[in-house]
Amino acid sequence: MQPRIRYARTSDGVSIAFWTIGDGPALVNLGLPASHIQREWQMPAFRTIYEWSARAYRFVRFDHRGLGLSERDVDDFSVDALLRDIEAVVDALEVERVRLTAFAIGATGALAYAARHPGRVSHLVVVNGSDRGADLAANDALTAASHLAARDWEFASEAVTRAFTGWSDDAARESAAFLRDSIDPPQWTALMNQMESWDVSAELTRITAKVLIIQNKQVPLRQLPGRRLAATIAQSELILLDGPPAPLLDPAAVANMVRFLGDAATAVPVPEPPREARYRTAAILFADIVDSTGLTERLGDTAFRQRARGVDASLRGIVGARGGEVVEGKLLGDGVLAIFGAATDAISAALECARAGDAAGLPLHLGLHAGDVIRERGNVYGGAVNVAARISAAAAPGEVLVSDVVRALARTSAGVTFVDRGSHELKGVTEPHRLFRVDRT
């Protein structure tokens, strides 16, 4: 059940949305700039982490001003303004002390709160954050992408996500879609413009809480100040993780947070996949509109969206009629991911989807692969899913491409012809895959 959403009012009169679940010590999680506390609860990956946290804590999520369900029509994103958001939520909890966790941009306000309210914070976790906004905003790619927000927020949000995280393809697209749900272009521009002036470095020595600083060694922005923060804050600990930031928390980061936060959390195991998350073999279909950004520019946003919604409805109907299941947990933007119990059904659906896209004037990239996947609360994971996505990207407009695995499964039952397209090196996939175009006989 969705947690009850409550509102707190800041000292400057801004309404801040928050919810709490669980009992125990208060653990407040700060999110910036992607934050939408209602939308997050509907996303299985987030919900699993939140429900697990509630086993040990009174877990609290809130949207900063300008974000999510909080008051959106604001233009003040100074450190003082963000601090007032935290103050309002913590005061509404009516507790003496809280634990705070903050990520990236959200860390600056959290550090300021811990410094200015030393008696209210017992523990603080900072992940890939800084005490200076310039450390996060001084990136040419991020700046250039942000300037496009008012003209093309969809394109800009994907470019921003890649610049800020270094992720690509599916992870970046899903995160960009979530960012667009979280914040509107005027607020994004105001946030970016004001972030460069954030600086709470002079206040770090006032922090009395225990502080854990987690930092990835490879970040697309300039080097973050993990070592300097640890050297300045009295009761601090620094953990450096290899590689770039993960789309969700790195298991090593989770383990260190559990250990650091301690108390009730020590009796709670690190979250495992939900009970219904089990491996199963499936045929996986990716269908994605070709050059959606270019089509939007040519058709206009309204016309393109109308056509795209029509195609989406058609694809979902086709998948259902062929015994497949659309995976709702994946935020694909302008495409559909579906799984089938039989390769033959998946091929038939893919061919029908191709015709539906062509008929609407929105041709599709279509790719099929088969393998073991994990089902988890409306989502699907596994290497086979990634391979299917890469095969889709390799397909020409309106073409259905399948892996050799799918061809072998359906060779005698699909009633189609498989045309060898040769061996392909797929991005992010170690071994090459032999791909086949599907033609009706």
Task: Give per-residue pLDDT as tens, 236-277.
Answer: 998 888 766 665 566 677 778 888 887 544 444 545 444 444
Distances (CA, A) of 363 to 17, 310, 354, 358: 41, 13, 7, 5
Is the pLDDT higher at 334 or at 65? 65
Give the integer Cα–Cα distance in Å for 87 and 83: 6
Give the integer Cα–Cα distance in Å for 188 and 157: 10
- Give this prediction's pTM: 0.61
What six digits make up the tokens of 423?
A: 């061996």
Task: Give per-residue pLDDT as tens, 31-44.
Answer: 888 899 998 888 87
Buried b (16+ CB within 10 A) or exposed e, 147-179: ebbeebbbbbbbbbbbbbbbbeebbbbbbbbbb
pLDDT > 70 in the chain, percent:
84
Please give the pLDDT value at position 187.
93
Task: Give per-residue pLDDT as tens, 419-430.
Answer: 999 888 887 676
Beta-carbon contacts of 108 under 8 Å, excluding residues fewer than 6 positions away, are 79, 82, 129, 130, 131, 132, 133, 136, 198, 200
Binned at pLDDT 50, 70 and 90, residue 88 comes out as very high
Give the integer Cα–Cα distance in Å for 26 and 53: 10
Q: What is the mean pLDDT of residues 104-108?
A: 91
> In this predicted structure, which of 133-142, 302-311, 380-389, 390-399 has the lowest mean pLDDT?
133-142
In the chain, the domains with their CATH numbers are: 6-267 (3.40.50.1820), 279-440 (3.30.70.1230)
Whether residue 333 has pLDDT greater than 60: no
pLDDT > 90 in the chain, percent:
39
> In this predicted structure, which of 5-14, 110-119, 302-311, 385-394 has the lowest mean pLDDT?
302-311
Whether residue 2 has pLDDT greater than 60: yes
Please give the pLDDT value at position 191.
92
Distances (CA, A) of 190 to 75, 78, 176, 376: 6, 10, 18, 37
